Amino acid sequence: MTRPFRTSPSSGATARLAASALLASTAGGALAGGLDRTGQPVDLLFEEGNYAEFAVSRTMPALSGAGTGNVAPWPLNPAGRIPAGTDYSGVGLDFSSVSAGVKFDITDSLSAALLFSQPFGADIEYDGDSDTTELGGTTAIAESDQLTAMLRYRFDDNWSIHGGVRIDRGSGDITLSGLAYGIPQAAVPPGAPAFSGGFSGYSVELDRTTDAGWLLGAAYEIPEIAFRAAITYNSAIVHDFDTTEYYLGQKIGESTTEVELPRSVNIDVQTGIAEDTLLFGSFRWAEWSEFRIDPELFTAASGAGLVDLDDSRTWTLGLARRFTDDFAGRVSFSYEATDSDDLVSPLAPTNGFFAIGLGGSYEVAENVTLSAGARYSWIGNSRPETGTPDTPRARFEDNSALSVGLSIGYRF
């Protein structure tokens, strides 16, 4: 029976251990670093021989906060205050993700891989009455399905290059609701012009659309010590969404909205440090500051877009070890810095994270490997804000998320 982990980086076990951690990584990525959920890995390309896998994960955020009582002033409430302490619990909704991929060797030097994943997304929902709370009824739902086709060419045992195409299908729905955005919706006269009571009651639908980007990278390996350093550049993917805007349930316009999924750079390094023991680490930078959602009518009325995010920088460090011929395990630590300016968009109410992940890989039959992982994330404190100047509408503290995942791999 083939061992599930060796010191050689080209053995499938190293990538299998990496996959078990990836399954457990979605919590931190889903609630920090913009809309990142997977980190867009290319580990599949480095599997040994012909290989196929299927993976599923479940993320369960515990994202909650309390209202500050600061709201947009209106004639019957010129002070712009309501009682503080509104309970916003369960703001981050649970979600599931799936991925599937296949890698095969074309020649001794050339290999190819095809990967389906769900790399970006958002599931945010604030409970509460829009007419009596700061943010009640505000939601942000976004989905992304991505198909990645990749090739890798090995010049020799040390150097290789890889590249490919990413085809992304995305959609989104956003609703702004609550006294943070304007007067009570019930106070707006029927048939009143759009935005006459502010932006509470505004919503936008971004219809599903498909567009493409590309990736390019290189790797250097020293097989004798299980060393590999790889860098991958992912281009931006620009979606032109057919857009429908609404105010208080009435359609107010149709247009096209350009949204840029960020370009990013992934750096992955691993090396053997003892027999059957591997040290690994990674860094990911994503340009979320270029991610904008600027629907035509909303932007004209407000002078700003719906979302304002910062670039993300995510670090991971871990250790993997083979314990028996059939079983290997790993532990990893991930970090994304907390910004000292904790004012954030209500549509992305997080501010960095620290996470611990545990994963394992077991060969259940010849050529069949089962991997599982779990990751717990401590999410940084934040203050969702709206308005100009920025006004905090709630405080989010002591939040966390748990992800669990399972994958099955088959060599053929």
Is 351 domain-assigned? yes
Q: Summarize pLDDT for 142-174 with one digit per residue, the tens.
A: 999 999 999 999 999 999 999 999 999 999 999
Buried b (16+ CB within 10 A) or exposed e, 74-110: eeeeeeeebeeebebeebbeebebebebbbeeeeeee
Is 328 domain-assigned? yes
pTM of the model: 0.91
Host domain of residue 241: 12-411
- Please report which confidence band the pLDDT of residue 12 belongs to, taking 50, 70 and 90 as the band edges: very low
Q: Summarize pLDDT for 201-232 with one digit per residue, the tens.
A: 999 999 999 999 999 999 999 999 999 999 99
Is 320 domain-assigned? yes
Q: Which residues are bridge partners to 230 per DSSP?
A: 219, 268
Long-range pairs for 127-130: beta carbons < 8 A, 24 or more residues apart: 127/88, 127/89, 127/90, 128/86, 128/88, 128/178, 130/177, 130/178, 130/179, 130/184, 130/185, 130/200, 130/201
Total domains in the chain come to: 1
How many Å apart are CA 250 and CA 203, to the nearest integer? 10
Distances (CA, A) of 133 to 26, 66, 124, 146, 366: 31, 11, 16, 37, 58
Contact criterion met (CB below 8 Å) for 101 and 22 = no
Q: What is the CATH number of the domain that holds 281?
A: 2.40.160.60
Q: Summarize pLDDT for 67-88 with one digit per residue, the tens.
A: 999 999 999 999 999 999 999 9
Is 158 domain-assigned? yes
Is 7 domain-assigned? no
Is 4 domain-assigned? no
Asked whether the predicted pLDDT for residue 10 surpasses 50, the reply is: no
The pLDDT of 26-35, averaged and rounded, is: 55
Cα 393 to chain centroid, rounded? 24
Helix (H, G, I), strand (E, B) or coil at 13: helix
The number of C-alpha atoms within 13 Å of 220 and in the hemisphere containing its C-beta is 2
Is 326 domain-assigned? yes
